[in-house]
Chain A
Amino acid sequence: ETGVTQTPRHLVMGMTNKKSLKCEQHLGHNAMYWYKQSAKKPLELMFVYSLEERVENNSVPSRFSPECPNSSHLFLHLHTLQPEDSALYLCASSQVKGFYTFGSGTRLTVV
């Protein structure tokens, strides 16, 4: 357990479904991140929240919608995804410009 908890660990969803990924940290960090890791590609930044404000969305398709209700929780809402969105989705937290702590990830399969 790293201190950053992601749920669920695995998710299979159809292209018409709506689901949400959850991330939780109680490390006192003030920045939280969503990353996507596709096969044979480097991790890609999707969203950054610093002090609960979104500071970058990095041209992510609108079918991915983040939510950060407080400094300890981060959600990624998913709707009408495509099979190419199948990937490992990783949450991380840090103090701004500090050491990162990663969650174990959610392995998402879109069918």
Chain B
Amino acid sequence: KNEVEQSPQNLTAQEGEFITINCSYSVGISALHWLQQHPGGGIVSLFMLSSGKKKHGRLIATINIQEKHSSLHITASHPRDSAVYICAVSGSQGNLIFGKGTKLSVKP
């Protein structure tokens, strides 16, 4: 079993839909990261959080430390949101442990 599990693995949505991607982890963490990877490989850090909730534009990330669970929400989804979304956790040394990613495709 991976230390970081994401669901779903693949997600197809219509433009405008509300999207939720889930992440569960089994190790102690100092922080949880949400990353976005576009075709071609480049990765962008979206959020780093250790408690509560953060919002940036149409993206919202939440974390429940007790339940070891985080969610990434996208409101009013758009085709340009199509990408792989990766959950990662950082331990005491700071280096990241990654989930396998969720491939999101938003259709116009």
Q: A residues bordering B, Cβ < 8 Å?
A: 2, 31, 33, 37, 40-45, 48, 50, 55-56, 88, 90, 92, 94, 96-105, 107
The dominant DSSP class at the B interface is strand
- Cα distance A101–B86 in the bound complex, in angstroms: 14
Asked whether, in the complex, the Cβ of B41 is within 8 Å of the Cβ of A43, the reply is: no
Interface size on B, residues (CB 8 A): 25
Asked whether, in the complex, the Cβ of B43 is within 8 Å of the Cβ of A102, the reply is: yes
Asked whether, in the complex, the Cβ of B95 is within 8 Å of the Cβ of A90, the reply is: no
- Cα distance A45–B3 in the bound complex, in angstroms: 14
Asked whether, in the complex, the Cβ of A102 is within 8 Å of the Cβ of B93, the reply is: no
The dominant DSSP class at the A interface is strand
Chain B, 33-59, contact with A by CB distance < 8 Å: what is the 0/1 string? Answer: 101000011111100100000000000
Contacts of A103 in B (CB 8 A): 42
Specify which of B33, B86, B98 lies most central, judged by the most chain A CB atoms within 10 Å of its CB.
B98
